[in-house]
Amino acid sequence: MSDNLLDDFFSAKGKLNQKCGFVAIVGRPNMGKSTLMNNILGQKLSITSKKPQTTRHQIFGIKTEGDRQVVYVDTPGLHKEKDIALNRYMNRAASEALRGVDLAIFMIDRTAWTEEDQIVLDKVKFCDCPVILVINKVDQLADKNDLLPQIEKVSAMMDFAEILPISAKTGTNVDKLEGLINSYMPEGDHHFPEDQITDRSGRFMVAEIVREKVMRNVGDEVPYGATVEIEEFYRDDQLLTISALILVEREGQKRILIGDKGDRMKTIGRDARLDIEHLYDTKVMLKLWVKVRRGWADDERALRSLGYDLNPSR
């Protein structure tokens, strides 16, 4: 047998022991799904804020350790659907994430149960894979015994594979959850190179960083009428140059976003630039503009052009 054939044989033999699986993280808005994925990966991929519906897209977070690769699918929060194209897109994105996965993580709050939780439960009941119930934000409980009524109530609704209280923010029990997740991963070849951490492009990641800073720096009205489009993305040996357009639906939102003498835009730009520099480990020149595009959130064609597509080039 030639050396090449021997190499092929031992390479194929090694792959027989590989494990690889997809894990969908689902729940109603503002449950900490993105925070959990970021915690597991050890770095920030999904943007976060205290405002519901911060996550609008499916985002893959890929963790490869030795022969095991776990592909986490962060999803928008499933919610009562408004008759707006953007809301319909987010609900479809969350629902589609449950198709063909090997495991689902259903995140709920430590004590509350809402109509939107019921919407998610009705989805995961028909999921063709094990479902782990994760009760998040237990760090905010003064008495852990307060969890018992919630556990008893929800466990009676469905036969969950596992039930685990965690804090995605502080990391409490996240290592235990990851151990459970690993135990459900099937044998199979890895889908991604071992050094790849997401399926999304650099342009997408930068647009999300800018949108996060919008979410965090303005009030309740503007974030839901704002999106970000990257117009220029150019990197040389010393500098990453980015031009980003922040789209809003009304003139009033534009004025709020810009702020007094442009102060708010300066803060958003500074905060975004620092995060982008940390992500790419290089100097960044970030130029931001604000433009009114009326009705973009309820226009299917406009949404697709802005990257709101269930089958994107990522």
- pLDDT of 91-117, one tens digit each? 888 888 899 899 999 999 988 899 999
Are 208 and 175 in a shared domain? Answer: no
Q: How far is the C-alpha of 308 from the C-alpha of 81, rounded, in Å?
A: 17
54 and 119, same domain (yes or no): yes
How many domains does the chain divide into? Answer: 2
Task: State the Cα torsion 70-97-93-173 to the nearest 10°.
Answer: -60
- Exposed e or buried b for every residue in 17-42, given b needs 16+ CB within 10 A? ebbbbbbbbbbbbbbbbbbbbbbbbe
The range of the structural domain enclosing residue 169 comes to 3-183
Where a domain ends, among 121, 154, 183?
183
Q: Which residue has the higher pLDDT, 13 or 102?
A: 102
Residues 27, 106 contacting (CB under 8 angstroms): yes
111 shares its domain with 239: no
Q: According to the model, what pLDDT value does residue 15 have?
A: 56
pLDDT of residue 27 exceeding 90: yes
User: What is residue 48's three-state secondary structure?
Assistant: coil
Kindly report the CATH number assigned to the domain that includes residue 245: 3.30.300.20
Range scoring the smallest mean pLDDT among 30-44, 69-83, 111-125, 259-273: 69-83
Name the percent of the chain lying above pLDDT 70. Answer: 92
pLDDT surpasses 70 at 51 = yes
Please tell me whether residues 146 and 45 are part of one structural domain.
Answer: yes
121 shares a domain with 23 = yes
- Where residue 9 falls among pLDDT bands split at 50, 70, 90? very low
Q: CA-to-CA distance for 123 and 181, rounded, in angstroms?
A: 20
pTM above 0.95, yes or no: no
Q: What is the pLDDT of residues 190-249, one digit of tens each?
A: 999 999 999 999 999 999 999 999 999 987 767 678 999 999 999 998 899 999 999 999
Residues 157 and 31 in one domain: yes
83 shares its domain with 160: yes
Domain assignment present for residue 109? The answer is: yes
**Looking at the structure, do residues 166 and 70 belong to the same domain, yes or no?**
yes
Report pLDDT for 140: 85
State how far the Cα of 203 lies from the Cα of 210, in Å rounded to an integer. 11
Residues near 164 by beta carbon (within 8 Å), at least 6 away in sequence:
132, 133, 134, 135, 173, 176, 177, 180
Give the Cα separation of 69 and 22 in Å (integer): 9
**Domain limit, last residue, from 120, 152, 183:** 183
- Assign residue 40 the CATH number of its domain: 3.40.50.300
pLDDT computed for residue 13 by the predictor: 47
Please give the Cα distance from 186 to 21 (Å, whole number). 6
Q: Are residues 167 and 209 in the same domain?
A: no
